[in-house]
Amino acid sequence: MNRIVERFTKLKRDNKKAFVVYIGAGDPDLEATRQLALEFDKAGVDVLELGVPFSDPLADGLVNQLAAQRGLESGTTPPKLLETVTAIRKQSQIPIVFYVYFNIIHRVGMEQFIVDCAKAGVDGLLVLDLPPEESDNYEAQMAKAGLCNIYLVAPTTPEARMEKIVKRAAGFIYYISREGVTGMQSSVASNLESQIAKIRAHTSLPIAVGFGVSNPEQAKAVAKEADGCVVGSAIVNQIAANGKSPELVSKLGAFVKAMADAVKSI
């Protein structure tokens, strides 16, 4: 069974919520990415999203844009990132998703990229700029390789289109809680409960909510409504602040564990 599906199945059985973490791959370097993945697994992270560095990350706010830039500057490429995933797999079975822009996949070749991801131990792809309407061949290749094609639903997505999107997804639905790009927010969206109910009317897949969750209190509030909570920019910001510190991994582990514990306390 796919690791993402397996993890969400176990969480549902245990009546627990998922804690999903996003970091930019190769920030500050790929060895740090490997170590952070192992530390996050110990800290209670259920799914790790790795942002594949790209020069024009349109869905991302400044914090994650700068992480992508640092990843590119550290020499991170798709093949080197796949080697890092292979290294992670020697010590951990944490579910891994690549958060990626389609240009990168197109440059490698879609079928080859998907096959390479599956071979390395990647469990799913979240392709930011590939609409489901143009994804027939992509979805077929993903299913063939046993990977989850994760789709985004936004607050502005019309319900008729939302229904089409969620029926084509696998693994979980990523609900963007706010309009705009990624980034830390001071509060959780007020219409979260009603929006999640709308999505749940059309799918039995788990719903994870992200874009803006910044601290344990917000993570807990989101997890109460959804099946999982995604935290990215707040963690990436900590990596930016501590990237050159020898204590990077331990500091980030403690920061992430506080949020994981909040999510698991529900």
- Catalogue the active-site residues: 49, 60
Rounded to whole angstroms, the Cα distance separating 49 from 131 reads 19
Q: How many CB atoms lie within 10 A of CB 16?
A: 18
Q: Cα(167)–Cα(151) distance, rounded to whole angstroms?
A: 10
How far, in Å, CA of 4 to CA of 94, rounded?
9
Using the Cα atoms of residue 140, residue 142, residue 147 and residue 151 in order, give the sign of their dihedral.
Answer: negative
Distance between alpha carbon 187 and the CA centroid of its chain, in Å?
Answer: 20
Neighbour-count burial of 191, counting CB atoms closer than 10 A to its CB (0-12 exposed, 13-18 middle, 19+ buried): exposed
**How far apart are alpha carbons 217 and 214 in whole angstroms?**
8
CA distance 80 to 149: 22
H helix count then E strand count, the chain: 12, 9
Q: What sign does the CA torsion over 96, 101, 106, 107 have?
A: negative
